[in-house]
Amino acid sequence: MSRRLAALNLFLRHAVKPRLARTSGPEEAAAQFETMARLALRAPPYLRDIARPGGLHWISAGPCRMDRMILYFHGGGYIAGSPATHRGMIGRLSLLSGLEICAPDYPLVQEARFPAAFEAAAVAWERCRMLGHAPNRILLAGDSAGGGLALALLAHLLQRGERPAGAVTFSPWTDLAMTGASLGRNRDADPFLPVDRIGELVGIVCAGADPRDPRLSPLHAAFPDCPPVQIHVSETEILADDATRMAARLEAQGARVDLRTHPSAPHAWPVFDGWIPEARATLRAAARFAQASLGETSR
């Protein structure tokens, strides 16, 4: 663990985690996330963020190939975040991979109830297809709730016979039924997320829907003829088992899975690119995976 990561974990544990535990609701959580992103999350030079019809943000940095792309879903527990909060990390992933990235501004639950976010993800896929991108020229990606959304979309597409190039996720939230043992095991070890608020968040997100619905919890989905998937997770996260069990389920269905664990990083740590070297290293690994997946399927 780098000194910068140790310092970040200390800050998150003593400043951010207690504040998250006191957050009054989705609106306050969203406002806090926007403020943090504006003040603290860094972006690479020459970042381009072009808003297009349908709530799609095309984000890139540096020269990009135009014949393949990444469709990226931001995290934030379905109650916070936007392409704007994540454009620094997304821009860095674009710079490292040489790929343009489409980031949908999908509705948060306080704006539209389930399954609105999933439906917006499916529409974003269709818009990318309408622009001329073949399924095997599109890599799905996301962090936290966005990682779960990417995997839910992947399952949906595979079940109807469309096969993306693959998927890469950072700390994906894949089981809103909350059956992972890491919720209890890492209660104190997680420097970022307060486990006592997870049940409340699930209630807000599901709003009466079955938390095992595959559109919410891809851990319970089927993935026929699945392309390669890369999953990044920290061993100290309360959601660690969401990632490790997701990897096991994908492998059991025949997928080639590259599961990468970190011993002590915080949840969705690539958002801290520019502050900790671990974020850059993870984004480099994701960029290499994206290039390999898209290159293999586009030949």
DSSP 203-228: HHHHTTS-TT-TTT-GGG---TT---
Catalytic residue among 144, 171, 234, 293: 144
pLDDT tens track for 86-97: 999 999 999 999
Residue-wise DSSP of 244-282: HHHHHHHHHTT--EEEEEESSPPTTGGGGTTT-HHHHHH
The one-letter amino acid at 49: D
Q: Residues 6 or more apart from 246 whose CB is under 8 A from it?
A: 151, 172, 174, 175, 218, 219, 231
Residue-level pLDDT at 55: 87
Average pLDDT over residues 1-7: 94
Confidence of residue 132 (pLDDT cuts 50, 70, 90): very high
Which of 138 and 39 is assigned the larger pLDDT?
Answer: 138
Whether pLDDT at 163 is above 70: yes
Confidence of residue 1 (pLDDT cuts 50, 70, 90): confident
Q: Over range 132-159, report the average pLDDT.
A: 97
Pairwise CA distance, residues 237 & 135, whole Å = 32
Do 287 and 93 contact (CB within 8 A), yes or no? yes
Q: What is the pLDDT of residue 76?
A: 96
Give catalytic status of residue 144 as yes or no.
yes
pLDDT 10s digits, 227-266:
999 999 999 999 999 999 999 999 999 999 999 999 999 9
Residue 164: which of 120, 121, 207 has the closest Cα? 121
CA distances for 118 relative to 8, 150, 182, 189, 217, angstroms: 32, 9, 26, 31, 11
Number of domains in the chain: 1
Beta bridge mates, 244: none
Question: What CATH number did the domain enclosing 153 receive?
Answer: 3.40.50.1820
Report the SS3 class of residue 62. Answer: coil
Supply the pLDDT for residue 53.
Answer: 82
pLDDT (tens digit per residue) in 110-124: 999 999 999 999 999
For 168-221, write each residue's pLDDT tens digit: 999 999 999 999 999 999 999 999 999 999 999 999 999 999 999 999 999 999
| pLDDT given for residue 299 in this prediction | 29
Q: In the prediction, which pLDDT does 296 show?
A: 47
Q: Report how far residue 219's alpha carbon sits from residue 155's, in angstroms, rounded to the nearest whole number.
A: 10
Q: What is the band of 297 on the pLDDT scale with cuts at 50, 70, 90?
A: very low
Residue 100's CB: how many other CB atoms inside 10 A? 18
Q: What is the chain's mean pLDDT, rounded? A: 95
Structural domain for 61, as ranges = 3-298
> Residue 45 pLDDT > 90, yes or no?
no
Looking at residue 66, its pLDDT comes to: 87
Give the pLDDT band of residue 39 (cuts 50, 70, 90): confident
pLDDT at 58: 96
Gap between the Cα atoms of 137 and 132, Å rounded = 10
Tokens of 76: 């934030």
Between CA 101 and CA 103 the distance in angstroms is 6
